[in-house]
Chain A
């Protein structure tokens, strides 16, 4: 089973690399939406149309045209189990809509899982590139290169006035969605977050909590992305996002510093309590685990906890999701069993990390 390789490990290879500002920006992502000329969009496509689109697009990778970028593997969605699809969603390698709605869908994944090319999602083609840390520009450049390769091999639906035509009017024009995932515990603790987030929405960017539903952010993780795709060039869109994220980083840094100056003991108490609970608890609900993992990660970044590496937080964040838990323990579970298994998994992970004897300094 080839999908197993992608579904087994919680941490993608690319996440293990260090990126700039990775204490606050966990990852940067750019997604490009494209469609082929002459075919209805997936929402109205017949099975025949979708199969033809799939064949046209999947040959690009199979004929080795992407070799200059890296090694790729193509997974056909209908070959995967429901659980495998769920894990791929939790790792952000495919979208929920590709996993649940697409009839003739596929995903082309690079070896390190940094590139995911979805076929017959909401649009015929969606190219997604992920980078560790704050590297939106790099992600855009790579996505654009892959875009050029597909454009060379196929014919895109493009209109001089409207740009690249997409199924949803919110993507038309550049078809680009750039986003960063930010960990902002200090801005949440100092209650500045709402003020900052509402300012963000006024400059054409959107914010949403990660893994959480609606506006609630689990684990103080926020995804910030561009809203506008028409009337601005890709560079303007990326620069705009880049500038705003840079400012948020500075605000978060200042808030962390202020916390350290004004209430270091209380902060340290909170961090170490969370560390203690994660290391010993027998039942761990997902909401609590997200909050405690966020505390521990902040403690690591501030030098309060030295024996655990910062990647543990990223890794556990994915591993404690329901689909991945079931995959790891190879059984279907109800909520209570999951909370028990989650606690167990966190305990094991933290214990093995701290036995490494402070590998991380």
Chain B
């Protein structure tokens, strides 16, 4: 059964383009994206490197602006939004997991999460968020004292700790082995199911696509294919 039929549209994008000016040459990162994301669904985005996945996610998250086209989140128009409105949008609605983690090196794991929860409306306790990703033992470690995978899990805990309405994850399992990868994906799925958080996950790993409601394929700045899974697999059942 496709969940998309009976759910409300959360994100609506139309004719979205993004062009970077690099000196004399123009790089067309997005070349006209039309896309709807629905309330509570889990979407996986697949595509080769440079296809524009991060760019799309960043625009949805209010981190970057489109060159042309239109994006709305619920009743927020993200293209027309002022800097202040975008900040509020990010603060109260979006949870981010960055491709390069972006932890603050001078803060411990716990404090890296507190930095976000302190400015959100009804966050989890930072300890609980870390427990969700299996890092209860590492509360007071600095990023430099954590492995790459542990850093990535802190980044995920940080994203879910504020109980966001949408969760945007850029390669959340890129640096993880299959066992910890599964722990992380379970955490994402739990948030998605229990809180109804609309979730978009970028990955290079086609296997992960099986846990999604829908899979979106990008290539060369365009959506080439969208397909819905009949049923979602649990992370444990994925073939890595």
Please say whether chains A and B are actual partners in one complex.
no
Binding site for B on A (CB under 8 A): none
Could you tell me which B residues sit within 8 Å of A by CB distance?
none
